[in-house]
Copies of this chain bind each other. A is one copy, B any other.
């Protein structure tokens, strides 16, 4: 059975939502969660029925959001370090953490190691789209200053992930740029463009709006730009709904109207754009599987991140990534 190491202490709200998410996941799927953290605290949140359905690995230290990412390598009693080590030692198939994402990425990259042909792993996230599939964007925060080779590898890994995990038979890959014409781009993307032509699914430059309109399945960018576009998108969505609420509050007919729209419109929309539905972001390019979840993850987000880890392991996407990169170069 698939074994998933879970950093039980990470996340903005401590172990409670993480453990509740694990319980919700266990209600739907069979797998072995290995909860890493303070055993007493973990047991205090774990319903008795589930005590013999999990394994617990004691870790006395927690890396805080204000600590440096490199602390993950020095503080060997931390829940992140110990959870990552379980994958390294073959005792777990995947690791999932909603804790310090930089620390998790650093520990996973250096302790689990990279696949052959990968210079740096890339963090991939699914974004909502009105197309048939969600859009996979990478890198969204692993490599701040990229070289063309990094972006090429992100493209190859994204293509493999879209095929194997999202089930898209011939996924398309676009290079995020400041215009869709081939001539557009900055120095980095212009140097990347010819490399990406080696990918079967490469369709050229794409723009910010193409994340959402279903034009392309995989979008490649550097981690600085990716992080900014992710936070910008979240900001826009939050602002649109904040504004709407402000105006609704001021008018009785609007209040009634909003009530009538709630079930069929707002609930469905929330479901479609809610990031909790996506779970976490896989760090692609590792000799293993690491899923990085948002610090503010709800139990539902944790559950979905676990399901993502299970799909990752079952699909054997890493073999596909390795194969693609050995062919492409």
| Chain A residues engaging chain B, CB cutoff 8 angstroms | 128-130, 141, 144-145, 176-179, 185-187, 189, 207-213, 221-225, 227-240, 242-244, 246-248, 250-251, 253-254, 256-261, 263-265, 268-269, 272-273
Contacts and interface: CB of A to CB of B under 8 A. Distances in A.
Main SS of chain A's interface residues? helix
**Listed residue (A239, A248, A254) with the most chain B CB atoms within 10 angstroms of its CB:** A239
Q: How many copies does the complex hold?
A: 2
26 contacts: A130-B243, A130-B246, A144-B186, A145-B186, A176-B228, A178-B228, A179-B227, A207-B231, A208-B227, A208-B229, A208-B233, A208-B234, A209-B232, A213-B235, A221-B228, A224-B225, A229-B229, A247-B264, A248-B261, A248-B264, A248-B265, A253-B260, A254-B264, A257-B260, A258-B261, A261-B261
Given A144-B178, A229-B229, A258-B265, 12 more contacts: A128-B239, A130-B243, A176-B228, A178-B228, A208-B234, A212-B235, A212-B239, A233-B236, A236-B237, A244-B265, A247-B269, A253-B263
A178 B225 CA distance: 8
Of residues A212, A242, A246, A272, which shows the largest number of chain B Cβ atoms within 10 Å of its Cβ? A212
A224 B224 CA distance: 12
A188 to B, nearest CB: 9
Contacts of A257: 256-261, 265
Nearest to A232: B208
Contacts of A230: 208
Contacts of A211: 232, 235
Nearest to A181: B66
Nearest to A144: B186
Contacts of A263: 253
A258 B236 CA distance: 21
Contacts of A251: 264-265
